[in-house]
Homo-oligomer: A and B are copies of this chain.
Amino acid sequence: MLNQSAVLDQVFHALADPTRRTIVERLTRGPVSVSALAEPLSMSLPAVLQHLQVLEASGLVRSEKVGRVRTCRIEPETLKTVEDWVAERRAVWETRFDRLAAFLAEEEDQSK
C-alpha cells in the first residue's frame, strides 16, 4: 500500500462533510446519476460536482459516463479502510485496558 496515511487523509476529509456523507448514503443504496444525486441537495450542480470530485479522489466513489449521463457508485473497499483503521485503534485500546485490569488484579492480589 502506497502511503496509507494520505489515503486516510482523503477518506476522512471526504466524510467530514454532511453533503458528502449524504451522497455516500445515497450511493450505498445503489448507483445514481449526477443530476439525481443533486436533486435533493440544496446547492448548485457545480457544487455537487466538486463534492463528487472529492469523493472520487478519496476512492470512496467511482463513476463512469455513458452517453451524456454519468453514473456514480460507491467503492465499498475504501469504506473498509476506515473500518480497519478504527478497529485497529480499538484493538490497541482494548489490549491496553486488559493489561491495566490484569495489573490492578495483581496489585490487589499482592496487598492480601
Residues of A within 8 A of B (CB): 5, 8-9, 12-13, 15-18, 21, 24-25, 28-30, 74, 76, 79-80, 82-83, 86-87, 89-90, 92-93, 96
Contacts and interface: CB of A to CB of B under 8 A. Distances in A.
Nearest to A5: B18
Contact of A16 (B13, B29, B76, B86): B13
Q: Quick one: copies of this chain in the complex?
A: 2
A40 B96 CA distance: 21
B28 A5 contact: no
Given A16-B13, A76-B90, A89-B79, A96 B29 contact: yes
Contact of A9 (B18, B83, B92, B93): B18
